[in-house]
Amino acid sequence: MNLENTPAKLLVTGGAGFIGANFVHYWLNKYPEDQVVVLDALTYAGNRASLASVEDNPQYTFVHGDICDTSLVEQLLLDHGLDTIVHFAAESHVDRSITGPDAFIETNVIGTHSLLKAAKKVWLDMPKADGLEPLKHRFHHVSTDEVYGTLEPNDPPFSETTAYAPNSPYSASKAASDHLVRAYHHTYGLEVTTSNCSNNYGPYHFPEKLIPLIITNILNDKPLPVYGDGKQVRDWLYVEDHARGIELVLREGRIGENYNIGGHNEWHNIDIVRLVCQLMDETFARDPALIKKYPSALQAAAGNSASLITYVTDRPGHDRRYAIDAQKSRSELGYEPVESFESGIQKTVTWYLQNDDWWKVLIKN
């Protein structure tokens, strides 16, 4: 499938979530003639306000619904003549998967299977029943580096050939969904691609995640929780660079292949926390108006945000290190992150300071 030749018609599942919403903004900005239909159940991490700026775009349609509703997905594919699914919808918070794994199996495994069934029926089975060739299509599945398990400090980064070894209910559910996507390609001929990405950061990130949690807790003068010794290592990727990577997979990726999308940017969690503290202190020092806007940010105003760092008991089965080898994406797709970490993290801090109307309603008192 070559999306260059004709305007694409995309179904974006989970498009009101963090990465999905950023992808929708990116795609509609770059491809204004394409049609984008967002399907989102608007659970706790789905926020329609993240898509407010595109609500009036005639090329955009929002549907409040569940990916587990196979008949709804089928109807959307038919009614809108959709030829591409970009599947973001997922329960993704590891802590929540430990305390309540059922929702992760339901959404990540059963939900993905529901989408695959609908895609197979509309794009393959229905044309075949009429004596026609399959409709042109692509099913792109967005996964995570967590399916590969954990790395020791000197281990090489995860590649596409690394064996799966998920360690949490979340990563196990994503691994299962990856395998289902692969099976629907090899068994039925569904044209699929999968991408496994490293930790994303940027605008519209739900405040329970590490970087926005640190920013918003500083603004509310709340403790900054750090699991264990804080030496867990993650590879950080600016969310728009992830959207750009998915675009390249859709346009240049080989059917049936997996592509790792990473930021080449490993950091210890504690160092990320300290960096955000430093940036917040510096930003408050440069702009005294912030002290009036955020009167609760007492430590940031005093240039001492790091005093809020609080070490807490490590979570069960906490993977020590993730790192992505994106050589395949570089060589086959020409993928490279555009945003440096220095510029990306500053953009992220600035976005949260300027968009408190978005995140304040999401924070529990």
Which residue matches tokens 């995140």? 359
Q: Which of 170, 184, 259, 322 is catalytic?
A: 170
Whether 146 is a known active-site residue: answer yes
Residue 354's identity, in one-letter code, is Q
Tell me the C-alpha distance between 257 and 253, whole Å: 7
Element (H, E) at 98: helix 94-99
3-state secondary structure of 106: helix
Q: Which of 146, 178, 240, 281 is catalytic?
A: 146
Q: Which of 83, 145, 240, 247 is catalytic?
A: 145
Element (H, E) at 312: strand 309-312
User: DSSP secondary structure string, 239-292?
Assistant: HHHHHHHHHHHHHHPPTT-EEEE--S-EEEHHHHHHHHHHHHHHHHHH-THHHH
Tell me the C-alpha distance between 190 and 183, whole Å: 9
Sheet of 199-201: strand order equals: 199-201, 233-238, 266-268
Whether 145 is a known active-site residue: answer yes
**Active-site residue set:** 145-146, 170
